[in-house]
Amino acid sequence: MNYWPLLGVAAVVLGFVLRLNPAMVVVAAGFVTGFAAGLTPLDVLEVLGTAFTEKRYLLLFLLTLPVIGLLERHGLKEHAQAWVARLRGATMGRLLIAYLLMRQFAAALGLTSLGGHPQTVRPLLAPMAEGAAQTRHGELPEDERERIRAMAAGTDNVGLFFGEDIFIAFGAVLLIQGFMSENGIVLEPLQIALWGIPTAICAFGIHAFRVLRFERQLARRVAAGTVDDAASGTPKP
């Protein structure tokens, strides 16, 4: 077996460590792998061109990244924080739980692209959660903001993971059906998907409890920090 093509993996790691342009790193790694496998430059270009034409739908995803970056540069996150701060009764916990419910329901219908980290969590959900927490608890230190962002990202993960198991055309459901069929157990995808509903309900309840507990812990940490700052005479971070 020829292990030299694995040099492409090393090229990717090295490029990311050096913080080079990701597109340039991937293309360079492709050429390194191709040359190590004995391909000519034209052969490598042919492979890259074929992959590009067959995976053109990925461009729809790639185009969202510069769009989100442009919106963030023009204050999308700040507007999201200001908007949620004006909502009466809006708390970080209620916001994340509402998003969890929406994410699970959409994923159960197969609409997995309605949310996600780059297009929803980073520019909208996390800033709105920070804004709701700041309105309720005052100015937050940076470490608490990082915890809120992590909880927002985790909420999206839980909603997607346990919601898409209910969608009958999801790959995991079809994989389970194929495995069962190989072992003599005949099941329809709908049966497997329906049995994913109790799991999704339990996941929703457990994560909703985690979100509410996190919010209570956040309030205690912020209050303790305020008391400590007042006792020491130092300004609040």
Are the C-beta atoms of residues 5 and 37 closer than 8 Å to each other? Answer: yes
Looking at the domain assignment, is residue 50 inside a domain? yes
Q: How many angstroms separate the CA atoms of 34 and 28, rounded?
A: 10
Residues 208 and 169 occupy one common structural domain: yes
Half-sphere exposure of 144 (CA within 13 A, CB side): 24
DSSP 8-state class, residue 167: S
Residue 227: band (very low, low, confident or very high) from pLDDT cuts 50, 70, 90: very low
Are the C-beta atoms of residues 199 and 163 closer than 8 Å to each other? Answer: no
Q: Reply yes or no on whether the pLDDT at 57 is more than 90.
A: no
Residue 69: band (very low, low, confident or very high) from pLDDT cuts 50, 70, 90: low
Structure token digits, residue 116:
């996600």
Residues 32 and 142 occupy one common structural domain: no
% of the chain surpassing 70 pLDDT: 79
Residue 230: band (very low, low, confident or very high) from pLDDT cuts 50, 70, 90: very low
Structure token digits, residue 156:
């999206």
What are the angstrom distances between the C-alpha of 196 and each of 109, 154, 179? 13, 20, 17
Residues 172 and 223 occupy one common structural domain: yes
Select, from the ranges 1-5, 51-55, 131-135, the one with the highest average predicted confidence (pLDDT).
Answer: 131-135
Q: How much is the pLDDT for 166?
A: 86
Looking at the domain assignment, is residue 237 inside a domain? no
Residue 72: band (very low, low, confident or very high) from pLDDT cuts 50, 70, 90: low
Judged on CB neighbours under 10 Å (0-12, 13-18, 19+), 37 is middle
Residues 33 and 120 occupy one common structural domain: no
Q: What 3-state class would DSSP assign to 45?
A: helix
Domain that holds residue 89: 63-232
* Residue predicted with more confidence, 52 or 135: 135
Q: Reply yes or no on whether the pLDDT at 70 is more than 90.
A: no
Cβ-based neighbours of 212, under 8 Å, separated by 6 or more: 93, 97
Q: How many angstroms separate the CA atoms of 140 and 137, rounded?
A: 8
